[in-house]
């Protein structure tokens, strides 16, 4: 139990009340006994000055304490009748955060005044706290169901983990509009395609909302993007009481520089043993273009087929690449799951009618052979590609070379469907890691749930940089021209 004596420190209750009302940082520090550092004060000042705020900071540096506990309880204490909502990716995390708020009330002599009378304790549930002054604190998981709430304050916890971005931009951001309230999103970033990066960097996307979100990133030790760093020495921690430089150095040595940079320096470009490093992929993004049916060169379609169903099934992916000579442009990506083979075939035929590809390259390792023959019967230039161990590595290394040399462009226009699919492709590419098999052979495997887009893209660009022979193998990585036009595709199988 934190006592009134510990909280007031000699101040009168009236003086403390008035100062705390004007200065939430002071109130939080006194009421909970937490360290409030310059970075924490800056976070709170941003929240006071702006209706929508995104704070990106290292793990363990107090984001959830400040915005998930301190600010909600300050609101409940000073604003009778206020309604506050805590959102987490899953319900279990949301209810745990609500429990922390409940425990703070019950174990704090000042906050016990918020506890309702015995007969009203039925209003305290796993998902709701109603206080003696009529304020309410709710918790909910990150789903569309939150659109029924209109609140004074919303805290969205770990927003980098929210996979469906539409829910955030359509429903979460608008929950405080009706009551002219405030919203804060807090997180440690996960990748260059997550919500905080859209808020930090994508200005065109942000301006669709009024008022715009104020987003700021904080590194664990001296970095950039905040006035507090101007007064610091190089390597100095922004939270020295919990994370002095010596402790940060020990953490870095124990977990490795890559993981440390991601968790404590909020550097999402730090990836270990990635076949496609994030910064390399991002260099190929073009934020000015969307998918297009306007073909300027020779088109190729790469196909990774799937036949399984269910929520964990693989995707069928078709990637259309337009070869302009020096570079290639991804003109379209089709991604579907749990779709019958005739529908997949029909979709591919439609793509062919639109883009008139010089070749359709298909992984024939599953049911590709029959699929290929059916397409040839339709007059399409379908080519079966073998996917044994060595060829798979060659496809991936060829794709790596093309991306590394910036010979491919990925459409990434803000707010477009191309941006969404390019983000998904980015996740698959950057999850592809070098591994050693039990026999000591180097291979490449994905740590993501799927790699279908990567393989479809790898097939599409294999024809851009390699020669297809009527008999033999695809010479992946060579520069001997494109797939030759031939009139024998329907009668003579071309095997790659």
Same fold, 4-218 and 280-465: no
- For residue 257, the number of C-alpha atoms closer than 13 Å in the C-beta half-sphere is 1
Question: Phi then psi for 216, rounded to 5 degrees?
Answer: -150, 145
Q: Which residues pair with 124 in a beta bridge?
A: none
- Rounded to whole angstroms, the Cα distance separating 154 from 437 reads 48
Domain ranges of the chain: 4-218, 280-465
Angle between helix 13-22 and helix 71-78 axes, rounded to 10 deg: 120
CATH code for residues 280-465: 3.30.420.240
Q: Tens digit of pLDDT for each residue in 43-66?
A: 999 999 999 999 999 989 999 999
H-helix segments, 184-311: 195-201, 203-206, 245-255, 257-264, 278-282
Nearest Cα neighbor of 201 from 272, 257, 89, 282 is: 282
DSSP state of 338: S
Phi-psi region of 379 (alpha: psi -120 to 50; beta: other; left: phi over 0): left
Question: In which element (H, E) is residue 342 found?
Answer: helix 341-355
Q: Tens digit of pLDDT for each residue in 119-170?
A: 455 668 889 999 999 999 999 999 998 988 899 999 999 999 998 888 998 8
| Domain at 4-218, CATH class | alpha beta
Per-residue confidence in pLDDT tens, the chain, 496 aa: 999 999 999 999 999 999 999 999 999 999 999 999 988 999 999 999 999 999 999 989 999 999 999 999 999 999 999 999 999 999 999 999 999 999 999 999 999 999 987 645 566 888 999 999 999 999 999 999 898 889 999 999 999 999 888 899 888 988 888 888 999 999 988 777 788 877 876 544 444 444 567 888 888 876 545 455 666 776 788 888 888 888 888 888 887 766 787 788 887 666 667 889 888 898 999 999 999 999 999 999 999 988 776 666 788 999 999 999 889 999 999 999 888 888 888 999 999 999 999 999 998 776 667 888 888 988 888 998 887 778 888 899 999 999 999 999 999 998 889 988 998 898 889 888 877 766 667 777 877 778 899 999 999 998 775 543 333 333 333 333 333 333 333 323 333 3
Which pLDDT score, from 0 to 100, does residue 117 have? 77
- Return all residues near 151 (Cβ < 8 A) that are at least 6 apart: 83, 84, 85, 138, 175, 176, 179, 181
pTM, entire model: 0.66
């Amino acid at each position: 139990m934190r006592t009134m004596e510990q909280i007031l420190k000699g101040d009168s209750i009236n003086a403390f009340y008035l100062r705390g009302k004007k200065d939430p940082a002071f109130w939080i520090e006194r009421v909970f006994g937490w360290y409030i550092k310059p970075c924490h004060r800056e976070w709170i000042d941003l929240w006071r000055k702006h209706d929508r705020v995104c704070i990106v900071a290292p793990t363990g540096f107090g984001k959830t304490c400040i915005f998930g506990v301190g600010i909600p309880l300050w609101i409940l204490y000073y604003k009778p009748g206020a309604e506050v909502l805590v959102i987490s990716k899953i319900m279990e995390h949301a209810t745990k955060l609500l429990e922390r708020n409940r425990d703070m009330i019950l174990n704090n002599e000042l906050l016990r005044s918020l506890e309702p009378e015995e007969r009203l304790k039925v209003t305290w549930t796993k998902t709701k706290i109603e206080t003696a002054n009529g304020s309410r604190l709710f918790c909910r998981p990150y789903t569309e169901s939150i659109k029924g709430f209109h609140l004074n304050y919303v805290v969205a916890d770990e927003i980098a983990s929210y996979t469906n971005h539409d829910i955030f931009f359509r429903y979460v951001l608008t929950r405080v509009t009706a009551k002219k309230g405030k919203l804060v999103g807090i997180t440690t970033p996960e990748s260059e395609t997550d919500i905080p990066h859209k808020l930090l960097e994508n200005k065109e996307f942000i301006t669709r909302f009024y008022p715009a979100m104020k987003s700021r990133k904080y590194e664990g030790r001296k970095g950039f993007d905040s006035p507090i760093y101007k007064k610091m020495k190089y390597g100095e921690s922004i939270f020295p009481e919990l994370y002095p430089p010596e402790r940060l150095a020990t953490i870095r040595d124990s977990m490795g520089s890559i993981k440390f940079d991601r968790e404590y320096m909020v550097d999402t470009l730090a990836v270990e043993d990635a076949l496609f490093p994030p910064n390399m992929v991002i260099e190929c993004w073009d934020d000015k273009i969307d998918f297009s049916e306007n073909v300027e060169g020779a088109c190729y379609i790469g196909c990774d087929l799937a036949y399984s169903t269910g929520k964990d099934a693989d995707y069928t992916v078709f990637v259309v690449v337009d070869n302009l000579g020096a570079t290639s442009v991804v003109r379209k990506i089709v991604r579907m799951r749990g779709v019958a083979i005739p529908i997949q075939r029909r979709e591919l035929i439609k793509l062919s009618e639109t883009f008139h590809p010089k070749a359709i390259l298909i992984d024939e390792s599953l049911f590709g052979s029959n699929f290929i023959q059916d397409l040839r019967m339709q007059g399409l230039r379908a080519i079966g590609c073998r996917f044994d161990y060595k060829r798979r590595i060659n496809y991936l290394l060829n794709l790596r070379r093309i991306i590394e040399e910036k010979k491919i462009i990925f459409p990434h226009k803000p707010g477009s469907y191309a941006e969404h699919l390019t983000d998904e492709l980015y996740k698959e590419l950057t999850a592809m890691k070098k591994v050693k098999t039990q026999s000591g052979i180097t291979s490449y495997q994905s740590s993501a749930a799927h790699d279908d887009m990567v393989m479809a893209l790898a097939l599409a660009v294999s024809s851009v940089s390699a020669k297809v022979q009527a008999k033999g193998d695809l010479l992946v990585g060579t520069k001997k021209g494109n797939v030759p036009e031939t009139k024998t595709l329907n009668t003579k199988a071309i095997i790659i």
